A and B are shown apart, each in its own frame.
Chain A
Amino acid sequence: MVKVGIVGYAQSKFEPDRRTSRDSLIYEVTKEVMKNANMRRDDISTFVSATNDFYEGRTISNCFTVETSGSMWHDETKVEMDGAWAILYGAERVLSGHHNVALVWGGSMGSTFEYDQTDVLAVDPTIDRTNFFLNHLTAAAFQMRGYMGKYGVTEEQIAKVAVKNRKNAALNPLVEPKTPNITVKEVLESKMLASPVRELMYAGNCDGVCAVILAAEEQAKKICDNPVWITGIGCDQDSYYLSDRTLFANESAKIAAQRAYKMAGITDPAKELGVVEMSEKFAHEEPILAEAFGICNDGQGIQNLEAGKSDIKGALPINPSGGALGANPLLATGIARVVEVAKQIRGDADGHQVKNKVKKGLAHGQVGLCAQSNIVLIMEGN
């Protein structure tokens, strides 16, 4: 199979309130990613963006971003899922042979909209939206309670995930705010959102844009000496209805990972992968996803963490950047996972580089209640 290479990446600082216009944020990052790949905008043959009309407060959100992202008078298109799907789209464009280079960017400004208000509009309008009993917080609460009940996991153990990722985020120079001294006690004493989910177990959202430049194999080798290769992509979508799913596991993430592993020729992910960057929107999603990705056995996600294996210095670090709990700029979150894995492979993760040399890594994006839809990308160095 022809491989897709990542030849450049850039991101804005992920922070609660950037106090700037969307346009200048997008300009800054798209300009930076071209500089990172040593390219000009006319070297880019297709642009793929990820923005959300609801989060932007304007419909056909990309009609306002063509000029600021450099895509005016260019082949340009958009996805409205997490930005990781924009990478899938961009990869397909360059693999088609019709495009040499794709610039993929995505992001949002959490400081400018009421996330809770926009997200409740994701629920079924014929019943769930008449009372809003079901929303992203209550759904996550069902998922966490289901997982805890199934495997005898405690709230204190889940809080350890939040502590690990928020501590890792403090090492990441591109994430604000920093909470290096956070404790399990603080997590367990933070505001109850929907029992047993507490505020510090929740990723929330922030301001941020992230971008990558993709090229097919031959082109990528011409552009730079050290492309990071995307060797496998898998995605899968589960039912909207929570009772049609297994809440203590994530079947969709499992299938997505299996598809990506098959494409990349990975048979033993726990041994072959050197880093995992996932989009855990809630602390309890990290062990559930680790199990779905086959990094540990079912029900062993917390033991995996407690044994230090997912630690930044562990055998297979999970979210050394801080993950989505560290910073969750909606629609950029999945792209940031890909960029973080690329940085780890290149040895370019400033402040949060993992101990062992990374040959292969996994990046994950998700959307929907309780991670309904999942995408997994496998990446490798030269």
Chain B
Amino acid sequence: MESATLKTNRGMMTASFAFWTGKFMDKFIAELKNKHFMGCKCTKCQRVIVPPRSFCGKCYAPTRDWVELPGTGTLENFTVTGIQLTDKKTKKLKADAIIGMIKLDGADTTFVWSVSEVDPQKVKIGMKVQAVWNDVLAGQYKDLKYFKPVEG
């Protein structure tokens, strides 16, 4: 120990940043308003990437054609967590959340979103899921509430 009266100075300021989402993600986000998932195809390997990227890293080639995907897909992987890393004080979620890797039908990639309306104990890899939309749609991420298991 260096000294018994050690002092620390805390943060002292915050800084803010912005990111251009780009024309591909702009369209993806805007089309959520119509309950549409928009993906795009690599011009070389033809895989369908959703959420869309302007290029395919595997081929180092641009993507071009748009593909509209349904609101259904498969749960490729999942975790149940009670931790909210961005909550400085408690780091706790109000209730445990199921976070999953979702592969929409017709897509070759996954994205990470929450899964609800299911007992965490009963969640399984390979489960068919569907999107649940907000009542108010505004072309923003919160239009997509979560995914739930496909009924029946």
A and B assemble together = yes
Are B86 and A117 in touch, CB under 8 angstroms? yes
Number of A-B contacts (CB under 8 A): 100
Most buried by A among B21, B111, B114: B111
A131 contacts which chain B residues (CB < 8 A)? Answer: 113-114, 141
B123 to chain A, nearest CB (A): 10
A120 contacts which chain B residues (CB < 8 A)? Answer: 85-86
Are A133 and B114 in touch, CB under 8 angstroms? yes
Are A137 and B85 in touch, CB under 8 angstroms? yes
Are A133 and B57 in touch, CB under 8 angstroms? no
State whether the Cβ of B34 lies closer than 8 Å to any Cβ in chain A. no
B109 to chain A, nearest CB (A): 5
Are B112 and A133 in touch, CB under 8 angstroms? yes
- CA gap between A135 and B21 in the complex, in Å: 19
Are B79 and A138 in touch, CB under 8 angstroms? yes
Are B77 and A24 in touch, CB under 8 angstroms? no
Which of B25, B103, B109 is A244 in contact with, Cβ under 8 Å? B109
A195 contacts which chain B residues (CB < 8 A)? Answer: 79-81
Are B141 and A244 in touch, CB under 8 angstroms? no
Q: How many residues of A contact B (CB 8 A)?
A: 40
Known interface pairs A125-B19, A138-B99, A243-B110; A192-B57 also in contact (CB < 8 Å): no
Are B141 and A193 in touch, CB under 8 angstroms? no
User: Measuring CB to CB, which residues of chain A are less than 8 angstroms from any residue of chain B?
Assistant: 19-21, 24, 57, 112, 114, 116-117, 119-120, 125-128, 130-135, 137-138, 141-142, 145-146, 149, 192-197, 239, 241-244, 247
User: Measuring CB to CB, which residues of chain B are less than 8 angstroms from any residue of chain A?
Assistant: 1-2, 6, 8, 11, 17, 19, 21-22, 25, 51, 57-58, 76-86, 88, 91, 97, 99, 101, 103, 108-114, 125, 141
Offer 17 A-B interface pairs, CB within 8 angstroms, sorted by A.
Answer: A21-B2, A131-B113, A132-B86, A134-B99, A134-B112, A138-B99, A138-B112, A141-B79, A141-B99, A142-B78, A145-B77, A146-B77, A192-B80, A194-B99, A242-B112, A243-B103, A244-B109
